[in-house]
Amino acid sequence: MPFKIIEKTKLWFAIPACIIIIGLVFLIFRGFNLDIEFAGGTMMQINIGQEFDAREDIEPIVREITGDTNPQVQKVSGAGGSDQVSIKVKEISSEQAVELYEAIAEKYGLDTETNANLVEQGSISPTISSEMKSTALTAITVAVILMLIYITIRFRDWRFGLSSIIALLHDVLIVLAMYAIFRIPINNNFIAAMLTIVGYSINDTIVVFDRVRENRKYYRSNQLNELANTSITQSIGRSINTSITTIIMVLLLFLLGVQSVRWFAFPLMVGFIAGTYSSICIATPFWVLLSKKGNQNSAPAKAKKA
């Protein structure tokens, strides 16, 4: 017995629409949490060499000296497993950078004469960050266009290609909503996460569409709902099982990884769930809508010829 997916198209479209609207509200009032790779700023990595709490012990010092109300301070592992702190703040002067290092060095008894514990320090200008934004947007846009062309050629129907892109747009907007709601830093991991999610989602969508194409010969043009429901039912087990196994691995990264890995794993989990949802509840129902519209437009033309 096929699942009644197409009959509840409005519900499937409404659920992600609500999430996207909530994300838009957060974006309007708080904006994205742009890392220095995209916003420009100063980064510093210091080898503390002993146990410390980044949020409780070091972040207050960073806030006081730099004046940055939203610094990114996290504990990282250096060479030999040494305890290091990574600090990313808005652009500060060289004097402030020296003052910040000395304040942390004094708190933990580090060397202030040779700066031996200063592992790395640098800055990214707004010009470079703008280039990174442009590169990220270009990468995602080119990937989407190439996939649109490939799917249209493979299935010999532009409706499959357009429906796939709508599903991808859904996935991207859902993940962006999560970035806005949870204030996830947008950095180079953002580009990798988005491209991974787009690639994963399109693969799942193609599997469902391939089943639709195989089953078309068994249904008439006015049985699109039955065709889509049957195809989804036949492929839904494979889609869900694949997603679960993938999400389990990413969940382990989120639970066991350091903070930077967690901020990469969390969007991936959201994106994989959104990709599975869109393949079943967005792409195929949207294809049905386009196909029904095409049938309605072709019917008057056939009547006139008759």
46-100 confidence digits (pLDDT tens) = 999 888 888 889 999 999 999 888 788 888 876 666 688 989 888 888 899 999 9
Looking up residue 167, the CATH number of its domain turns out to be 1.20.1640.10
Over residues 95-121, the mean pLDDT reads 89
Q: Which residue has the tokens 């389990």?
A: 248
Over residues 117-132, the mean pLDDT reads 76
Higher-scoring residue by pLDDT: 40, 108: 108
> Are 256 and 200 members of one domain?
yes
> Are 47 and 115 members of one domain?
yes
Q: What single letter denotes the amino acid at residue 43?
A: M
pLDDT of residue 284: 93
Looking up residue 116, the CATH number of its domain turns out to be 3.30.70.260
The pTM score is 0.81
CA distance 304 to 306: 5
**What percent of the chain stands above pLDDT 70?**
92
Provide the terminal-to-terminal Cα distance of the chain, rounded to the nearest Å. Answer: 38
Burial class (CB in 10 A: 0-12, 13-18, 19+), 86: buried
pLDDT of residue 211: 92
* Domain annotation covers residue 306: no
Q: Which two tokens stand for residue 68?
A: 């940055």
> Are 58 and 70 members of one domain?
yes
pLDDT of residue 100: 93
CA distance 292 to 294: 5
The band of 141, judged by pLDDT with boundaries at 50, 70 and 90, is confident
Higher-scoring residue by pLDDT: 190, 273: 273
> Are 136 and 94 members of one domain?
no
Partners of residue 86 on adjacent β-strands: 45, 74
Q: Is the separation of the CB atoms in 168 and 243 below 8 Å? A: no
CA distance 294 to 288: 10
Asked whether the predicted pLDDT for residue 296 surpasses 80, the reply is no
Asked whether the predicted pLDDT for residue 286 surpasses 90, the reply is yes
Owning domain of residue 58 = 41-124
Among 138, 145, 285, 139, which residue's Cα sits nearest to residue 205?
Answer: 285
> Are 74 and 195 members of one domain?
no
pLDDT of residue 80: 62
pLDDT of residue 90: 87
* Domain annotation covers residue 284: yes
CA distance 220 to 224: 8
Q: Which residue has the tokens 């904006």?
A: 31
Nearest-5° angle of CA 63, CA 88, CA 113?
Answer: 80
Over residues 94-120, the mean pLDDT reads 89
CA distance 207 to 279: 9
> Are 135 and 103 members of one domain?
no
Asked whether the predicted pLDDT for residue 299 surpasses 60, the reply is no
Produce one character per residue of 107-118: b if its CB has 16 or more CB atoms within 10 Å, e if not: ebebebeeeebb
For residue 198, what are the contacts with CB-CB under 8 A and spacing of at least 6? 140, 143, 144, 147, 168, 171, 172
> Are 157 and 92 members of one domain?
no
Single residue among 90, 124, 158 that ends a domain in this structure: 124
Higher-scoring residue by pLDDT: 302, 75: 75
* Domain annotation covers residue 303: no
User: CA dist 301 to 61, 221, 289, 291, 294, Å?
Assistant: 74, 16, 19, 16, 11
Asked whether the predicted pLDDT for residue 178 surpasses 90, the reply is yes
Single residue among 124, 156, 189 that ends a domain in this structure: 124
Asked whether the predicted pLDDT for residue 12 surpasses 90, the reply is yes
Over residues 121-150, the mean pLDDT reads 78
DSSP of 45-103: EEE--S---IIIIIHHHHHHHH--SS-EEEEEE-GGG-EEEEEEES---HHHHHHHHHH
Query: What's the structural domain count of the chain?
Result: 2
Asked whether the predicted pLDDT for residue 166 surpasses 90, the reply is yes
Single residue among 62, 89, 124 that ends a domain in this structure: 124
Among 48, 67, 66, which residue's Cα sits nearest to residue 57?
Answer: 48
Q: Is the separation of the CB atoms in 104 and 110 below 8 Å? A: yes
> Are 104 and 149 members of one domain?
no
Partners of residue 47 on adjacent β-strands: 84
Over residues 203-228, the mean pLDDT reads 90
Mean pLDDT over each residue of the chain, to the nearest integer: 86
> Are 93 and 184 members of one domain?
no
CA distance 110 to 14: 56
> Are 143 and 285 members of one domain?
yes
Q: Which residue has the tokens 């990114």?
A: 72
> Are 137 and 72 members of one domain?
no
pLDDT of residue 6: 92
The band of 146, judged by pLDDT with boundaries at 50, 70 and 90, is confident
* Domain annotation covers residue 304: no
pLDDT of residue 49: 85
Q: Is the separation of the CB atoms in 105 and 111 below 8 Å? A: yes
pLDDT of residue 27: 93
